[in-house]
Structure 1
Amino acid sequence: MNKTAIWQRHPYVIAALIIVCTTLIRIAFLWSNQLDLVYDEAQYWDWTRHMQFSYYSKGPLIAWIIKSWTSIFGDTQFGVRFGAVVNSFLTQSILLYGMGRLMKRPVAALWAVILANTIPLFLASGILMTTDSPLLVCWVSALFALYAASVNPERKLPYVVLGAAMAVGILAKYMMLAMIGIVFFYCIGLWRQNMLSKIFVKRVAIAMAAGSAIGFLPILIWNIQNDWVGFRHVAKLAGVNKAATAKPFFRFDRFPEYFASQVGLLTPWWFAFLIFGGWTALKQGWTKKGAEQVENKDEVRQALLLSTGFWMLWGFFIFWSFHTRIYPNWSAMSYAAGIMLAAIAVEKGHVWGKTALVIRSKRIPLRKTGVIIGIVLFLLMHSLGQLPFRSRSINPAMRLMGWTDMSSKLQELTESMPNPDKVFYFSDRYGITANLAFYAPQQPQAYCVDWGRRKTQYDLWNTPEDKKGWDAIFVRHKPLEIERLKTLFESVEVMEYQTTHSNGYGPKYYIAVLKNYNGTWPKRENGGY
Structure 2
Amino acid sequence: MLKSAPQDRASDPLWIGVAAVAAITIYRVVLLAFSQAELFVDESQYWQWGQELAWGYYSKPPLIGWVLRGFTELGGDTTFWIRLPGPLFQAATALILMGAARQVTDRRAAAMVAIAFVTLPVVTAGAFLVSTDTILMPFFAGALWLYLRLTGTRSAWAAVGLGLCLGLGMLAKYAAVYFLLGAGLGALVVPQARIAWRDAGIAALVFLAVIAPNLVWNLQNDLMTFSHTADNVDWVRRPGVHLHLDKAVEFLASQFAVMGPVFFGAFLWLAPRAFVRPEWQPRWLVLMAAPTLILVTVQAILSKAYANWAVTACLALLLLVVPVLWHRGRTWLWIALVLDLALAALLPFAFTQATRWTTPKGELLMRRYVGEEEMSARILEEARLRGVTAVVSDNRLLLADLFLRAKGSDIAIYAVPPEGRPDNYYAQRHPYPAGRAAPFLFATLNDAPACGEALPTATWKPSPGAYSRDILRLYLQPRNCWGQPDE
Please give the TM-score of this superposition, normalised by the length of structure 2: 0.87
1-side partners of 2:116 and 2:326: how far apart?
A: 12
**Structure 1 residue 471: Cα displacement:** 3.1
**Structure 1 residue 514: Cα displacement:** 1.8
The answer to whether residue 214 in structure 2 is matched with residue 219 in structure 1 is: yes
Q: 1:210 aligns with which of 205, 214, 228?
A: 205
Q: Is the 8 A contact 1:84 1:125 kept in 2?
A: yes
2-side partners of 1:146 and 1:397: how far apart?
A: 41
Q: 2:391 aligns with which of 395, 412, 425?
A: 425
- Counting aligned pairs with the same residue, the percent is 20
Aligned to 1:471: 440
Q: 1:446 aligns with which of 413, 423, 426?
A: 413
Letter paired with 1:493: T
> Within 5 Å, which residues of 2 pair with 1:96-495?
96-100=98-102, 102-152=103-153, 154-191=154-191, 195=192, 200-241=195-236, 243-244=237-238, 247-281=240-274, 283=275, 287=276, 290-291=277-278, 300-350=279-329, 365-387=331-353, 388-391=356-359, 396-415=365-384, 417-419=385-387, 422-440=388-406, 442=408, 445-449=412-416, 455-465=423-433, 466-476=435-445, 480-482=446-448, 485=449, 487=451, 491-495=455-459
2-side partners of 1:24 and 1:489: how far apart?
A: 55
2-side partners of 1:51 and 1:220: how far apart?
A: 16
1-side partners of 2:254 and 2:324: how far apart?
A: 22
Letter paired with 1:103: V
SS of the equivalent of 1:495 reads strand
**Structure 1 residue 13: Cα displacement:** 3.0
1-side partners of 2:418 and 2:459: how far apart?
A: 21
Q: Is the 8 A contact 2:139 2:165 kept in 1?
A: yes
Q: Is the 8 A contact 2:156 2:199 kept in 1?
A: no
Aligned to 2:14: 12
Which deviates more from structure 2 when the two are superposed, residues 85-94 or residues 378-387?
Answer: 378-387
Distance 1:205 1:517, change over 3 A: farther
Kindly provide the CA deviation profile for residues 249-274 of structure 1, in whole angstroms up to 9, marking residues without a partner as x: 43323222222222221232332223
C-alpha RMSD of matched pairs (Å): 2.8
Kindly provide the CA deviation profile for residues 47-106 of structure 1, in whole angstroms up to 9, marking residues without a partner as x: 122221111111111111111111111111122122222211210110122213x33422
**Structure 1 residue 161: Cα displacement:** 1.2
SS of the equivalent of 2:267 reads helix
**Structure 1 residue 14: Cα displacement:** 2.3
Aligned to 1:53: 55
Distance 1:27 1:467, change over 3 A: farther
SS of the equivalent of 1:499 reads coil
Aligned to 1:63: 65
Letter paired with 2:297: I
Which deviates more from structure 2 when the two are superposed, residues 306-315 or residues 182-191?
Answer: 182-191
2-side partners of 1:486 and 1:196: how far apart?
A: 60
Letter paired with 2:439: W
**Structure 1 residue 495: Cα displacement:** 2.4
Distance 1:441 1:66, change over 3 A: closer
Q: How many pairs align? A: 468
**Structure 1 residue 380: Cα displacement:** 1.5
Letter paired with 2:177: L
The answer to whether residue 455 in structure 2 is matched with residue 511 in structure 1 is: no
2-side partners of 1:326 and 1:309: how far apart?
A: 19
SS of the equivalent of 2:151 reads helix
Letter paired with 2:416: V
1-side partners of 2:260 and 2:146: how far apart?
A: 29
**Structure 1 residue 401: Cα displacement:** 1.7
2-side partners of 1:55 and 1:205: how far apart?
A: 30
**Structure 1 residue 239: Cα displacement:** 3.6
**Structure 1 residue 183: Cα displacement:** 1.8
SS of the equivalent of 1:253 reads helix
Kindly provide the CA deviation profile for residues 207-259 of structure 1, in whole angstroms up to 9, marking residues without a partner as x: 34213312331122112211222222212222443x245x3243323222222
Distance 1:182 1:445, change over 3 A: farther
Distance 1:376 1:471, change over 3 A: same
**Structure 1 residue 467: Cα displacement:** 4.3
Distance 1:346 1:488, change over 3 A: farther
2-side partners of 1:399 and 1:196: how far apart?
A: 45
Distance 1:80 1:391, change over 3 A: same
Distance 1:114 1:488, change over 3 A: farther
Letter paired with 1:26: R
**Structure 1 residue 450: Cα displacement:** 6.2
1-side partners of 2:89 and 2:147: how far apart?
A: 20
**Structure 1 residue 10: Cα displacement:** 4.2
SS of the equivalent of 1:382 reads helix
Distance 1:280 1:9, change over 3 A: farther
**Structure 1 residue 446: Cα displacement:** 2.9
Letter paired with 1:513: L
SS of the equivalent of 1:94 reads helix
SS of the equivalent of 1:514 reads strand
**Structure 1 residue 370: Cα displacement:** 2.5
2-side partners of 1:336 and 1:429: how far apart?
A: 37
Q: Is the 8 A contact 2:112 2:322 kept in 1?
A: yes
Structure 2, gaps ≥5 residues long? 1-9
2-side partners of 1:214 and 1:423: how far apart?
A: 43
2-side partners of 1:467 and 1:307: how far apart?
A: 58
Letter paired with 2:220: Q
**Structure 1 residue 392: Cα displacement:** 9.3
